[in-house]
Amino acid sequence: MFFKKRSWKSFAVAGALTLALAACGSESAGTDGETTYDWRFATEEEPGQVQYEYAKEFADLIHEKSDGQINIDVYGFGELPGSEVDQVEQLQDGLLEFAIVSPGFTGGMVAEGQVFALQFLFPDDQEKTQEILNTSEALNTQLAGMYEAHDIKPLAFFTEGAMQWTGNRELRTPEDFRGFKMRTQESPLIMESYRAYGADPSPLSWSELYTSLDRGVVDGQENPIFFIEDASFHEVQDHMTISNHNNYVAMTTVNPTFYNELPEDVRALIDETVEEMQPRVFEMQKEMNESYLDLIKNDTDNPTEVIELTEEEREAFRELAVPIRDFFRDEVVGDEGREMLELLEQEIAAHE
Ligand code: 6CS
């Protein structure tokens, strides 16, 4: 079996933090009288990228606060078997305790999670967007409940930055997308959004993306700047459009059975640390997205034309993107999803 067996030992509490003794899962008595909790945390990204660095800091904080009683092994993308979608299944099956999940990969299962694929929905102001992600009842209560029904418990939503387009040709107007082979995540709504621009969407794991761009299997893709640079997509793309058409939203998730069976004080420790990580990850992505833009612009070995859309140019895309909200309401979700979007739209309006 690939995964390490979960190890539980009985313990004597050390330091200021007292973790309750209630057993969660299997437990075995240790010789040193201490319980150690060994958990696994999977991410969809690699060292140096936002999700991985988030998980590392989270693991370090939890380790420190628990006086070393809780160890969390963080897995970068590719260290566990399978794709992003397989990692979600491993979380649902309890093979992983924690995972960062991009809703785009769960579109076939929790249709309502595709709300994040609705372009031009959230404010352009990233701080406002993060505030909505932190406080929204539509997301943190309604949508979270829909995920929980599928054995995925979202503890937090955070932005990894505004998304931009890269292409093997200039992408300045919707006409430029005509017949364009656009790589997307596995979400019917993301695909529909690109069909509205006239593109030909093609879902792929990001592990296949560099080669697919290089070989012309696909013509372009969307991602935040830090990811475009760090995954070297700009090396095999001649153009990058600063479109800010959407945010890349990720969720910190936990297996609900594991979480619900934890002692209350351990759950409180997790919750408190998740909350502490929200401003931290916001700063992390902001710094990375800003500095990596300069890296792309200054990479003379791999020149990339950077096009910044004017408000007027963005408007042409917005006009085609807004009707996708009706598609979401009418074709993708049921009453609960419609109510969620209505509430979310009210929450967004209150921030603008
Ligand atoms: O494009 C993707 O699929 C990847 N993008 C980011 C920012 N994180 C992981 C994800 O799989």
Give the nearest ligand 1 atom to 51 CA: 8
Q: How far is CA 198 from CA 121, 127, 175, 187, 223, in A?
A: 20, 31, 7, 17, 19
Are residues 257 and 128 part of one domain? yes
Amino acid (one-letter) located at 189: L
The answer to whether 152 touches 225, Cβ cutoff 8 Å, is no
Sign of the CA dihedral 312, 318, 323, 329? negative
181 in the same domain as 71 = no
Q: How far apart are CA 130 and CA 122, in angstroms?
A: 10
Q: Residue 234's domain is classified under what CATH number?
A: 3.40.190.170
Cα→Cα distances 37→2, 27, 144, 153, 347, Å: 19, 10, 26, 20, 39
Residue ranges of the chain with per-residue pLDDT less than 50: 1-30
- Asked if residue 253 and residue 233 are part of one domain, the reply reads no
Spatial distance between the Cα atoms of 171 and 247, rounded to a whole number of angstroms: 18
Q: Whose CA is nearest to atom 2 of ligand 1?
A: 206
Among the listed residues 175, 107, 117, 112, the one whose alpha carbon sits nearest the alpha carbon of residue 138: 112
Place of tokens 């309502």: 112
Q: What pLDDT sits at residue 72? A: 98
pLDDT at 34: 73
pLDDT at 5: 26
44 Cα to the center of ligand 1, angstroms: 7
Which of the listed residues 86, 182, 185 should we mutate to test ligand 1's pocket, taking the one with most ligand atoms within 8 A of CB?
185
Whether residues 264 and 117 share a domain: the answer is: yes
Range of the domain at 217: 164-247+302-351
**Cα of 33 from ligand 1 centre, angstroms:** 42
Q: Tokens 């067996």 correspond to what residue?
A: 5
List ligand 1's pocket residues with C-beta within 6 A. 44-45, 84, 102, 160, 185, 206, 223-224, 227, 248
Going by C-alpha positions, the residue among 141, 168, 162 that lies closest to residue 153 is 141
3 occurs within a structural domain: no
One-letter amino acid for residue 171 of the chain: L
Whether residues 219 and 324 fall in one domain: yes
Report which DSSP code applies to 185: -
In the numeric block, which tokens belong to residue 59? Answer: 């693991």
306 DSSP β-pair partners = 240
Which residue, judged by its Cα, is nearest atom 9 of ligand 1?
44
pLDDT of residue 30: 44
